[in-house]
Structure 1
Amino acid sequence: GLSFRSTKGCWATNLSQQCLRGSSRLFVPPSPPVNPEEVKEFQHFISLSKKLLVMTGAGISTESGIPDYRSEKVGLYARTARRPIQHSDFVRSAPIRQRYWARNFVGWPQFSSHRPNPAHWALSTWESLGKLHWLVTQNVDALHTKAGSQRLTELHGCMHRVLCLDCGAQTPREALQERFRVLNPKWGAEAQGLAPDGDVFLSDEQVQSFQVPPCLRCGGPLKPDVVFFGDTVDAAKVDFVHKRVKEADAVLVVGSSLQVYSGYRFILTAWDKKIPIAILNIGPTRSDHLACLKLNSRCGELLPLIDPPEQGSSLQSCC
């Protein structure tokens, strides 16, 4: 459980021991031990690439304690009947925005405190060594940025930024948290369970008195700078990523089932351009039939085992 309450003017967050342990065991599905032969195959794939593009999904961040939606038995869809907020509902309804921000306010201290795990650090190291041509993430948790990645596209935005739906002004999410505190000095809530993307579960009664501040510039409604379900990724960003894919000589998918088309389309582009594809994900993905190498290990266990500086001549013979 998780609670957020006001005590003599000072806000305090109480997390259960389960949350404090990082929750990685809760949110990462079971996987077989790392196979040494698969490590050799994966090393060969990475060594032969000179312009590697990596696409990451929620499965890389579950090992940091952030739940995902689709993992078998442990994802949000498997654990609860609740579903993520839809873009159209958020835009049209002030009460829905109030409910969203109340839940996000309670969950933010925990969500924003998550740290990169060995998989994030490994990819950052690959970039610093010149191995990683570009990194595309479907995640909104900023963990790649925290790990130091710079050649990065956040395909679905980032929860650490907030924008106004009317004027487009952008502000840090942490600054909004303070505005929430000022507007709600006596408001308190208790939540049971964490959801992806900084969300928690609250009852309707708990959120009715929660006050949501407007945009400081124009008074318009505020929204996280992320692509909600039912929304579309900016066309310019899509074109940019397509160009990076076409420049690559290999594509690696890390921790994504590729069920969402916004990421899957780039794998189709790589396949069309005959760019070799490898997938590291626990469980099946939408593109397993397109990959020359599929691994079912934990991202944080396998990626640090790979030695990125080794160079080769061509990946065409690998796949």
Structure 2
Amino acid sequence: MSPHPEPHGPGGRDGAPPAAHEGTPPGAALDGIRRLLAGGGVAVLSGAGLSTESGIPDYRGATGRRRRHTPMTYQEFTASEAARRRYWARSHAGWRAIAEARPNAGHRAVERLRRAGRVSAVITQNVDGLHRAAGTVDAVELHGGLDRVVCLGCGHRSTRAELDRRLHDLNGASRGAQARVNPDGDVELPDALVAAFRIAPCTACGGILKPDVVFFGENVPKDRVQQCYDLVDGARALLVLGSSLAVLSGLRFVRHAAREGKPVAIVNQGTTRGDEYAGLRAALPLGATLSALADRLGDPGDE
């Protein structure tokens, strides 16, 4: 939970307009985002919608309603060996699709805008590592990364690629590898395959391995949360890309920016929980939109 009180209303002290809840017309929206970025110092908060063009599905459709897939919770994972077996069996089958995903035009455009000084910081709710792969190596991965594994016993960290090799040695190639991949990198598998799956323990202490991501029901580390608050405080404005802001871990930064009088803009397909705090809200294709903006503003001398 944020230690900060809730803002009293939308907009900001600098006169940013209140949210247009029906969305801003595309032409006006594009011009508004261009003007926002032209001033530089914009912090970006990205969500699953930015990665859909890389073939990774999001949790919610354009209506904002959750898709049928229900992700594993931290409480389930830590309390039950059967739940851990189910998680790792399904994740082993689906992780390759995440590992082979490549940054799309949106990720690359964000990095171009960062290099040009238009974007001051990138905070992502995604665990796919695609901002890093696009060159934004200092992007703060709010919920961690699927390419890392941590032991719940001794804290030892290792790569997901290493674990994948160990799981392959124990179980062979997954027969569910061609199934539809869920947003958190797993797939649906028959019960018989899950029941026969063998879990790999920590190589350092024999303890329980968990992907180095924040599960539903788990808290984001406090120092990481504070780092994100500091980045928002140091920014002139906040631009949300492809997030419904359905969970507090991302929404709190939108609320914080609005309370501090910083302009907030949201580009997302469908409504978000942060719409009331945004002076600009638009439904635009992220790859094409961000690429056009980077073409226009990719040089610090351009306006």
- On whether the aligned pair clears a TM of 0.5, the verdict is yes
**2:266 is the counterpart of 1:275:** no
The answer to whether the Cα contact below 8 Å between 2:241 and 2:286 also exists between their aligned partners in 1 is yes
**5+ residue gaps, structure 1:** 1-31, 314-319
**5+ residue gaps, structure 2:** 1-22
Q: Any idea what SS the aligned residue of 2:43 has?
A: strand
TM-score under structure 1 normalisation?
A: 0.82
**2:7 is the counterpart of 1:53:** no
Q: Any idea what SS the aligned residue of 2:167 has?
A: helix
Match of 2:27 in 1: 36
The answer to whether the Cα contact below 8 Å between 1:190 and 1:202 also exists between their aligned partners in 2 is no
Q: Separation in 2 of the partners of 1:234 and 1:112?
A: 24
CA apart distance, 1:167: 0.5
Q: Separation in 1 of the partners of 2:171 and 2:150?
A: 21
The size of the alignment, in residue pairs, is 277
Match of 1:154 in 2: 141
The answer to whether the Cα contact below 8 Å between 1:187 and 1:209 also exists between their aligned partners in 2 is no
Match of 2:16 in 1: none
The answer to whether the Cα contact below 8 Å between 1:133 and 1:151 also exists between their aligned partners in 2 is no
CA apart distance, 1:312: 10
Q: Give the partner amino acid of 1:284.
A: T
TM-score under structure 2 normalisation?
A: 0.86
Alignment of 1:106-255 (within 5 A): 106-185=93-172, 188-189=175-176, 192-255=179-242
CA apart distance, 1:111: 1.6
Deviation string, structure 1 residues 178-232 (Cα, Å, up to 9, x no partner): 0011112387447642211211001221111111110000000100000000001
**2:57 is the counterpart of 1:67:** yes
Q: Give the partner amino acid of 2:102.
A: R
Q: Which has the higher contact order (CA 8 A, sep 6+)?
A: 2
Match of 1:88 in 2: 75
The answer to whether the Cα contact below 8 Å between 1:58 and 1:68 also exists between their aligned partners in 2 is yes
CA apart distance, 1:289: 1.6
> Superposition RMSD on alpha carbons, in Å?
2.1
Q: Give the partner amino acid of 1:53.
A: A
Describe the shift of the 1:194–1:186 C-alpha distance in structure 2 as closer, same or farther (beyond 3 A). closer
Give the structure with the higher percent strand: 1
CA apart distance, 1:128: 1.5
CA apart distance, 1:287: 1.3
The answer to whether the Cα contact below 8 Å between 2:149 and 2:212 also exists between their aligned partners in 1 is yes
Match of 1:303 in 2: 290
Q: Give the partner amino acid of 2:45.
A: M
Match of 2:280 in 1: 293
Deviation string, structure 1 residues 266-288 (Cα, Å, up to 9, x no partner): 11110111000111111111111
Q: Separation in 2 of the partners of 1:300 and 1:40?
A: 16
